């Protein structure tokens, strides 16, 4: 199912075989929270820009249109016309992000819908049932994402509860995958490591969940307030205690530099809203740093966003034209910027895979970081 093809230090070039196709890692999953990439990007676009995995959110799809509706329509793949792998987040992060509206108990989390205010309960079994209805390729275990600066006592209690929830998730998924009316009876389950910025709690939790023989493991609860240095340190001490023969997913991370550093620490899977969110605001990634296309200096710039880029925006349009679209609030402007950014990320992941295969990742990483950092200030 998961096979490491090449290694350079702790960087892994691997593949994960799923019911919806084989995922080549390291991979960046394109985030479509409500079954669509924000920025008017269709699944047919994703096929053209090299997307391997789409990520959708359990909580948002449970609230609207409803996971039972999606199941009646044949599952998420049919619903959104996408035949490649889909990973669904468990809804646990929403319990964390809706902090003012939630109560966490042993049975699960109670919180109010951000859409209509109705009271919602979600626990391990509910999350598994919703994700089974969605029929995603990979389901994430239900967890609590404790604030990175929470006190030690709270974090330890939260992690212990998350470990108990994981056992319940595993049991419920096994039951669901055995039912005849389940759409995807080969759904995979990834567990999530938590522990905020406490290395010993992280390590202990990693050891505990590693014994559960899951399909993959995620490191969650990072990029929520801690420094980059703290995040890298947590990866340094935690990832070695997760099974090497299973994929490792760093949730919600991050910038191109974050990804390059995390690959060096043994991470396979990534997701982040940065490419689409920044694109919608006219901020685009290049190998020479990030550009703000609202900047006056691009008014007469006839060059593409990046010379040699093969994305739909760069193949046909100039910086000046895209700037005009953004200034005029034309939807095409944010669409083109979003497509460019996702293409940049997807292409970077292919470059990373090639570099590890050819045993030159250290040089690639150094050159990529130097290129992006050297011109970053002048581009803003």
Long-range contacts of 173-180 (CB under 8 A, 24+ apart): 173/128, 173/132, 173/139, 176/128, 176/129, 176/132, 177/132
The three-class DSSP label of residue 287 is: strand
Q: Which of 45, 215, 264, 271 is catalytic?
A: 271
DSSP annotation string for 79-116: HHT--S-EEEE-SHHHHHHTGGGEEEETTEEEEE-TTT
CA-to-CA distance for 332 and 369, rounded, in angstroms? 30
- Per-residue HEC secondary structure of 223-259 comes to CCCCCHHHHHHHHHHHHHHCCCCCCEEECCCCCHHHH
Q: Which of 45, 67, 89, 268 is catalytic?
A: 89
**Cβ(62)–Cβ(127) under 8 Å?**
no
CA-to-CA distance for 306 and 312, rounded, in angstroms? 12
In eight-state DSSP terms, residue 273 is S
| Burial class for 21, CB neighbours closer than 10 Å (0-12, 13-18, 19+) | middle
Distances (CA, A) of 322 to 61, 276, 280, 312, 332: 32, 16, 12, 12, 8
The three-class DSSP label of residue 120 is: strand
CA-to-CA distance for 170 and 65, rounded, in angstroms? 26
In eight-state DSSP terms, residue 142 is P
Name the strand (E) or helix (H) holding 369.
helix 361-379
Annotation says 271 is catalytic: yes
Which sequence positions are flagged as catalytic?
89, 271
């Amino acid at each position: 199912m998961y096979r490491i093809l090449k290694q350079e230090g702790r960087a892994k070039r691997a593949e994960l075989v799923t019911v919806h196709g084989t995922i080549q890692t390291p991979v960046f999953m394109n985030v479509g929270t409500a079954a669509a990439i924000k920025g008017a990007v269709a699944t047919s676009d994703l096929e053209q820009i090299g997307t391997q995995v789409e990520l959708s959110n359990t909580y948002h799809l449970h609230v609207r249109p409803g996971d039972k509706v999606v199941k009646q329509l044949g599952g998420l793949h049919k619903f959104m016309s996408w035949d490649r792998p889909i990973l669904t987040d468990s809804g646990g992060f929403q319990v964390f992000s809706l902090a003012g509206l939630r109560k966490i108990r042993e049975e699960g989390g109670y919180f109010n819908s951000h859409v209509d205010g109705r009271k919602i309960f979600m626990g391990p079994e509910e999350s598994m049932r919703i994700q089974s209805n969605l029929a995603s390729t990979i389901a994430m275990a239900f967890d609590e994402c404790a604030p990175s600066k929470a006190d030690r006592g709270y974090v330890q209690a939260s992690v212990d509860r998350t470990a108990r929830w994981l056992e319940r998730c595993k049991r419920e998924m096994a039951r669901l995958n055995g039912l005849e009316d389940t759409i995807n009876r080969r759904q995979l389950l990834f567990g999530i490591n938590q522990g905020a910025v406490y290395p010993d709690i992280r390590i202990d939790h990693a050891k505990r969940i590693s014994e559960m023989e899951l399909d993959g493991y995620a490191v969650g609860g990072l990029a929520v307030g801690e420094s980059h240095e703290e995040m890298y340190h947590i990866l340094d001490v935690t990832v070695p205690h997760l099974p090497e023969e299973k994929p490792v997913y760093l949730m919600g991370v991050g910038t191109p530099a974050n990804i390059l550093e995390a690959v060096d620490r043994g991470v396979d899977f990534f997701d982040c809203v940065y490419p689409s969110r920044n694109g919608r605001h006219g901020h685009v990634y290049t190998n020479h740093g990030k550009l703000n296309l609202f900047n006056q200096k691009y008014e007469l710039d006839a060059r593409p966003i990046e010379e040699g880029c093969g994305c739909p925006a760069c193949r046909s349009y100039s910086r000046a034209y895209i700037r005009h679209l953004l200034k005029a609030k034309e939807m095409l402007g944010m669409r083109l910027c979003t497509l460019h950014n996702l293409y940049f990320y997807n292409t970077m992941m292919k470059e990373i895979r090639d570099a590890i295969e050819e045993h030159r990742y250290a040089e690639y990483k150094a050159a990529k970081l130097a290129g992006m950092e050297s011109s970053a200030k002048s581009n803003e």
